[in-house]
C-alpha cells in the first residue's frame, strides 16, 4: 500500500523505546483499588468466568512440610524450566534489585509468568488457577483485607465453613500462610496464580468503601414508597454522605469522565468511564440505592420527592485543589432512578496543540493552516473524537489582545479567557446562523462556529471567510476529503467551497498504552498484511495492553489523537470545482503528503504509543 506515510517517532518527536518494561511495582502503592476490567480488551478468551469451587472439595491438598523448605528457585530447576546457572544469575540479580524471584526470571526472559506458575503448581501437586476464568465473590474477597492481600500477593478465591482457597504467587511463602491462617481462623488451601492475575484481581476489591458500606444501616429505604422526609433523613446519614463523596472523589482521581449509578434487580452497579470505556467499580447492596441516589440528588439541587421524571442538576466541588463541575442527570428505570454524572474538570480541559498527539510533520502542517489570515478550517470526526478540544487549542494559540475572537457553540463547554463565547438558544431564535450573522457586525477576526449543520450556516460561514475572517468549524464526516464533498452535497456551489476552505483536519482518539506494563510482541504475517505493512523490514514489533497497578489494570492510560490533515492546495481546488468524488480528492491529498488516519494510527502502533487493537477499533472498522 503506497499510501502509508509512517513515522517511527512518538508525538514528542522522540524515538520510541520498543523494549518491554517489566512492572516492578510489587508493593502497596496506589491508594484505593482500581476499577475492574469490564470493557473487555480485544482478543480475550471467550468462555465467561465462573465460580471456582474445586479447591474446596476433597481432602485438602497441602504442600508437604518437606516441600515447604524448598525455595521456589529450586522448584523451577526441578521442573526443568531453568538451569542451575540461570538460577544463579537470577538469584544474583534478585539480591541487587530485591524483586521477587518470579519477576526476575521473567524479566531475564527465561520463562513466562504462566510457565512459572504452572511449573510450581505441578511440582507441588496443587492447582494452577487462571483467574481470568474465575468469578470472584466480593464476600470471599473481603475475608482477606486488601492491604494484606497486597502485602502477600494473595487473592482469596473460594471459602466454606472451614477452609479458604487462596491464590498465591508463591505458595511456599510460609509467612504468608501463617498470617492468613491466624487472620481468618480457616485452613488455607493454596493454589497458584500469576503475578498479572494477582494485580488484576486486586482491582475487584471494593473501592475503599467496604468500611462505609458496612456502616450503612439496612434502612427500609429501598421500598418503593418511602416518604420524602424519611428519604431526606437517610440520605443525610454520615455513611451515605461519605459513600457519595467517595464515589465522586475516586472517579476524579482515576481520571474518569462519567460516573453511572445504575439500579439493578439485586444490587446497584456503579461504573466509571475512563478513557472512553466503562468499568464497574462497585456493586453496593440494594438497600443503599434510594439513600445514595437521593444524596446525589440533594447535592445536585434536584427534587428528591420526584422520582418519576428525568431531572438534571449540577454539583460544584473542589477535589485535590481542582475545581470540578459535575453535570448530573437522572432517568427513571424499572429498578429505580439511574444517575449519570459527567465530570467537567475546568483546569483539565486545556490541551495545548503540542499535546494533542500530532506527529512532527503533521504539527507543521497544522500550524501552517491555522496561521493563515482567512478562510475556513474544518474539523471532522464523530462525537467524542476530540474536535472541541482541538478547536479550543487552536483558539487558545491564536488568542492575542490584538485579535477579536468570537464563538457560537452548543453548548459552551469551557470558558476561554479573553474570548466572547455565545451559546445557541434556538427557542429564543439564536441559532448558529443568526448568531453568525450578528457576529459579522461585531468586527471579528476569528470566528468559531460549533458545527455546520445546514446550508444556511455553511453559506454565512463561507461569506465570512471570503470577507477576510478566519472561520473554524466542525462537520461529521469520516475523513478529511469527505468534508468538502459534504459541503457540495449541502448545496454549496463547488467554486465557493474551493475558494473558502483552506484545510480540513479529521481526527479520532485512541487510548495510550500504559508505559509501565505494555508488552511487546511480533505480529503475525497475516496481521501485518491486513493492515498493509506486509513488506516492512525488519519485521516490526508492536505493543499490547497488559495491566498493572499504575494503570488501574486497564493496560491503557490517557488518550491521544490520530490526525488526517488536508491542506486545500491548487490541485484539490481543481478537483472540488470539477465535482470529483472524495476518493479522487483523497488520492491527490495523499500524493501531496497527507497522512491518513489509518497511517497515523499505524505510526503510533509502530511507536508503541498505542496498540493495533485500538487503531483497528477506531479507524479501520467504520471504513
Ligand X SMILES: Nc1ncnc2c1ncn2[C@@H]1O[C@H](COP(=O)(O)OP(=O)(O)O)[C@@H](O)[C@H]1O
Contacting positions for ligand X (CB under 6 A): 257, 351, 356-357, 381, 383-389, 509, 559-561
Per residue in 101-128, is it b (16+ CB within 10 Å) or e — as a string?
bbbbbbbeebbebebbbbbbbebbebbb
- Please give the angle made by the CA atoms of 577, 579 and 580, to the nearest 5 degrees: 110
What character string, x for contact with Mg ion (CB under 5 A) and - otherwise, covers 347-386?
----------------------------------------
Shortest distance (Å) from residue 257 CB to ligand X: 5
When CB distances are held under 5 to 8 angstroms depending on the partner's kind, the choice from Zn ion, Mg ion, ligand X, none that residue 514 binds is Zn ion
Shortest distance (Å) from residue 380 CB to Mg ion: 12
Do the beta carbons of residue 44 and residue 132 sit within 8 Å?
yes
Shortest distance (Å) from residue 385 CB to ligand X: 4
Shortest distance (Å) from residue 448 CB to Mg ion: 11
When CB distances are held under 5 to 8 angstroms depending on the partner's kind, the choice from Zn ion, ligand X, Mg ion, none that residue 567 binds is none
CA pair distance 577, 270, nearest whole angstrom: 53
Do the beta carbons of residue 551 and residue 589 sit within 8 Å?
no
When CB distances are held under 5 to 8 angstroms depending on the partner's kind, the choice from ligand X, Zn ion, Mg ion, none that residue 598 binds is none
Closer residue to ligand X in complex, CB, 338/511? 511
Shortest distance (Å) from residue 445 CB to Zn ion: 45
When CB distances are held under 5 to 8 angstroms depending on the partner's kind, the choice from Zn ion, ligand X, Mg ion, none that residue 389 binds is ligand X
Q: What is the edge-to-edge ordering of all strands in the sheet holding 163-168?
A: 154-159, 163-168, 187-192
Give the H/E segment covering residue 104: helix 101-107
* 388 lies in the binding site for Mg ion (CB under 5 A): yes
Shortest distance (Å) from residue 378 CB to Mg ion: 14
Q: Which of 272, 279, 550, 563 binds Zn ion (CB under 5 A)?
A: 550
When CB distances are held under 5 to 8 angstroms depending on the partner's kind, the choice from Mg ion, Zn ion, ligand X, none that residue 560 binds is ligand X
Shortest distance (Å) from residue 30 CB to Zn ion: 11
Residues 513-532, interacting with Zn ion (CB under 5 A): 514, 516-517
Question: Which residue in the block uniquely carries the three cell numbers 456493586?
Answer: 283
CA pair distance 270, 330, nearest whole angstrom: 14
Measured between its terminal Cα atoms, the distance across the chain in Å is 16
Residue 313 C-alpha cell reads as: 442538576
| Chain CA centroid to CA 365, Å | 28
Closer residue to Mg ion in complex, CB, 406/507? 507
Closer residue to Mg ion in complex, CB, 123/478? 478
Cis status, amide bond into 538, omega within 30 of 0: yes
Closer residue to Mg ion in complex, CB, 289/388? 388
Do the beta carbons of residue 156 and residue 131 sit within 8 Å?
no
- Bridge partners of 261, per DSSP, are 270, 339
Shortest distance (Å) from residue 567 CB to ligand X: 20
- Rounded to 10°, the helix 570-577/582-591 angle is 170
Residue 77 C-alpha cell reads as: 530447576
Do the beta carbons of residue 106 and residue 116 sit within 8 Å?
yes
Q: Which of 121, 268, 551, 568 binds Zn ion (CB under 5 A)?
A: 551
Do the beta carbons of residue 127 and residue 54 sit within 8 Å?
yes
Q: Which of 513, 533, 548, 602 binds Zn ion (CB under 5 A)?
A: 548
Residues that bind Zn ion (CB under 5 A): 514, 516-517, 548, 550-551
Residues that bind Mg ion (CB under 5 A): 388
Amino acid at each position: 500500500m503506497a499510501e502509508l506515510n509512517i513515522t517511527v517517532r512518538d508525538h514528542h518527536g522522540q524515538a520510541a523505546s520498543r523494549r518491554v518494561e517489566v512492572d516492578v511495582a510489587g508493593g502497596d502503592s496506589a491508594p484505593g483499588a482500581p476499577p475492574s476490567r469490564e470493557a473487555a480488551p480485544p482478543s480475550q478468551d471467550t468462555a465467561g468466568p465462573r465460580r471456582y469451587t474445586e479447591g474446596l472439595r476433597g481432602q485438602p491438598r497441602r504442600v508437604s512440610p518437606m516441600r515447604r523448605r524448598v525455595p521456589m528457585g529450586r522448584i523451577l530447576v526441578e521442573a526443568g524450566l531453568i538451569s542451575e546457572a540461570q538460577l544463579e544469575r537470577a538469584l544474583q540479580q534478585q539480591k541487587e534489585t530485591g524483586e521477587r524471584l518470579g519477576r526476575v526470571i521473567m524479566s531475564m526472559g527465561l520463562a513466562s509468568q504462566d510457565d512459572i506458575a504452572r511449573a510450581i503448581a505441578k511440582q507441588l501437586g496443587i492447582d494452577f488457577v487462571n483467574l481470568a476464568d474465575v468469578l470472584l465473590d466480593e464476600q470471599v474477597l473481603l475475608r482477606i483485607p486488601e492491604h494484606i492481600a497486597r502485602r502477600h500477593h494473595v487473592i482469596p478465591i473460594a471459602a466454606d465453613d472451614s477452609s479458604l482457597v487462596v491464590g498465591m504467587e508463591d505458595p511456599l511463602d510460609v509467612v504468608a500462610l501463617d498470617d492468613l491462617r491466624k487472620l481468618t481462623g480457616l485452613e488455607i488451601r493454596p493454589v497458584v496464580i500469576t503475578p498479572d492475575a494477582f494485580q488484576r484481581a486486586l482491582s475487584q476489591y471494593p473501592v475503599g468503601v467496604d468500611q462505609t458500606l458496612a456502616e450503612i444501616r439496612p434502612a427500609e429505604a429501598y421500598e418503593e414508597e418511602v416518604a420524602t422526609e424519611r428519604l431526606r433523613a437517610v440520605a443525610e446519614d454520615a455513611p451515605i454522605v461519605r459513600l457519595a463523596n467517595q464515589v465522586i472523589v475516586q472517579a476524579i482521581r482515576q481520571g474518569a469522565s462519567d460516573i453511572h449509578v445504575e439500579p439493578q434487580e439485586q444490587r446497584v452497579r456503579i461504573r466509571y468511564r475512563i478513557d472512553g470505556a466503562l468499568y464497574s467499580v462497585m456493586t453496593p447492596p440494594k438497600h443503599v440505592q434510594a439513600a445514595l441516589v437521593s444524596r446525589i440528588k440533594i447535592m445536585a439541587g434536584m427534587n428528591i420527592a420526584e422520582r418519576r421524571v428525568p431531572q438534571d442538576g449540577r454539583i460544584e466541588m473542589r477535589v485535590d485543589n481542582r475545581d470540578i463541575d459535575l453535570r448530573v442527570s437522572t432517568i427513571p428505570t424499572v429498578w429505580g432512578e439511574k444517575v449519570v454524572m459527567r465530570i467537567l474538570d475546568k483546569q483539565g480541559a486545556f490541551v495545548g496543540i503540542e499535546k494533542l498527539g500530532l506527529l512532527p510533520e503533521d504539527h507543521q502542517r497544522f500550524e501552517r493552516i491555522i496561521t493563515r489570515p482567512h478562510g475556513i478550517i474544518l474539523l471532522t470526526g464523530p462525537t467524542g473524537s476530540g474536535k472541541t478540544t482541538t478547536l479550543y487549542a487552536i483558539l487558545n494559540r491564536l488568542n492575542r489582545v490584538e485579535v477579536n475572537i468570537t464563538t457560537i457553540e452548543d453548548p459552551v463547554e469551557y470558558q476561554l479567557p479573553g474570548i466572547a463565547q455565545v451559546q445557541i438558544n434556538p427557542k429564543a431564535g439564536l441559532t448558529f446562523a443568526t448568531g453568525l450573522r450578528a457576529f459579522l457586525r461585531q468586527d471579528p477576526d476569528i470566528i468559531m462556529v460549533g458545527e455546520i449543520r445546514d446550508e444556511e450556516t455553511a453559506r454565512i460561514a463561507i461569506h465570512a471567510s471570503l470577507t477576510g475572517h478566519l472561520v473554524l468549524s466542525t462537520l461529521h464526516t469520516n475523513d478529511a476529503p469527505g468534508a468538502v464533498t459534504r459541503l457540495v452535497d449541502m448545496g454549496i456551489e463547488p467554486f465557493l467551497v474551493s475558494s473558502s476552505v483552506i484545510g480540513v483536519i479529521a481526527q479520532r482518539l485512541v487510548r495510550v498504552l500504559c508505559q509501565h506494563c505494555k508488552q511487546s510482541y511480533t505480529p503475525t504475517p497475516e496481521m501485518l498484511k491486513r493492515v498493509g505493512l506486509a513488506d516492512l523490514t525488519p519485521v516490526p514489533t508492536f505493543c499490547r495492553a497488559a495491566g498493572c497497578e499504575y494503570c488501574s489494570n486497564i493496560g491503557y492510560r490517557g488518550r491521544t489523537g490520530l490526525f488526517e490533515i488536508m491542506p486545500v492546495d491548487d490541485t484539490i481546488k481543481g478537483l472540488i470545482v470539477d465535482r470529483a468524488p472524495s476518493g479522487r480528492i483523497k488520492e491527490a491529498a495523499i500524493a501531496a503528503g497527507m497522512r491518513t488516519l489509518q497511517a497515523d494510527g499505524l505510526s503510533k502502533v509502530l511507536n508503541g504509543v498505542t496498540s493495533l487493537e485500538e487503531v483497528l477499533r477506531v479507524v479501520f472498522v467504520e471504513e
